[in-house]
A and B are shown apart, each in its own frame.
Chain A
Amino acid sequence: DAKTTQPPSMDCAEGRAANLPCNHSTISGNEYVYWYRQIHSQGPQYIIHGLKNNETNEMASLIITEDRKSSTLILPHATLRDTAVYYCIVRAFYRDDKIIFGKGTRLHILP
């Protein structure tokens, strides 16, 4: 079973920041938080991952709470092409043999 909880769907206006929450209250000390997205039947796309510090790359920012029990993925300026299902996954680096996807959050970007 997935170790994370995400809202099933969210809306965001085009050009605004999309903030996608994820709860992972049972996360272990050696587990990273990964985010992927799947755009309409394409292969899932890696977005970002982090352990405890906030991370930023060209696609998004990841904010992890100090107790590491939840995180937020931020798409700073959402476009219509960001409409997708977003998955939050916790995995232990160099240990977990499986990547278990939950149901994710279906993000709708509204024009």
Chain B
Amino acid sequence: DSGVTQTPKHLITATGQRVTLRCSPRSGDLSVYWYQQSLDQGLQFLIHYYNGEERAKGNILERFSAQQFPDLHSELNLSSLELGDSALYFCASSVGVGSRAFFGQGTRLTVV
């Protein structure tokens, strides 16, 4: 158990819908990272938050947005969902920027 909690574990939704994925970092960790992994694809970096502030963006679509709240949990919002958005979404947390990160077990999103 990495100490990073992601909910829900599985999510099935229809095209055009909007979903919210939640990540609770390890106690004391200020950084949260989000990743997308499509079937048999690599881990694609989406976005990084540190202590509530956005630090870096990767290949994140405009339909996707994220935020980190004062209690340090983070949410990834995916809207106008398409079939191609079906993937595993992972979050990771670390104490600071550049330190070792611990990953959650992911949310499997299926868009039908």
Residues of A within 8 A of B (CB): 34, 38, 41-46, 49, 91-104
Contacts and interface: CB of A to CB of B under 8 A. Distances in A.
Nearest to B48: A97
Contacts, number: 61
B88 interface: yes
Interface of B: 2, 4, 33, 35, 37, 42-43, 45, 48, 50, 55-56, 58, 88, 90, 92, 96-106
Given A42-B106, A96-B98, A101-B42, 20 more contacts: A41-B37, A41-B88, A43-B4, A43-B106, A44-B92, A46-B100, A49-B100, A92-B98, A94-B96, A94-B98, A95-B98, A97-B55, A97-B97, A98-B45, A98-B56, A100-B45, A101-B43, A101-B45, A103-B42, A104-B42
Nearest to A103: B42
A102 B41 CA distance: 11
Contacts of B90: 43-44
The list of the 6 closest CB pairs from A to B, nearest first, reads: A97-B56, A43-B103, A101-B43, A97-B55, A94-B98, A93-B98
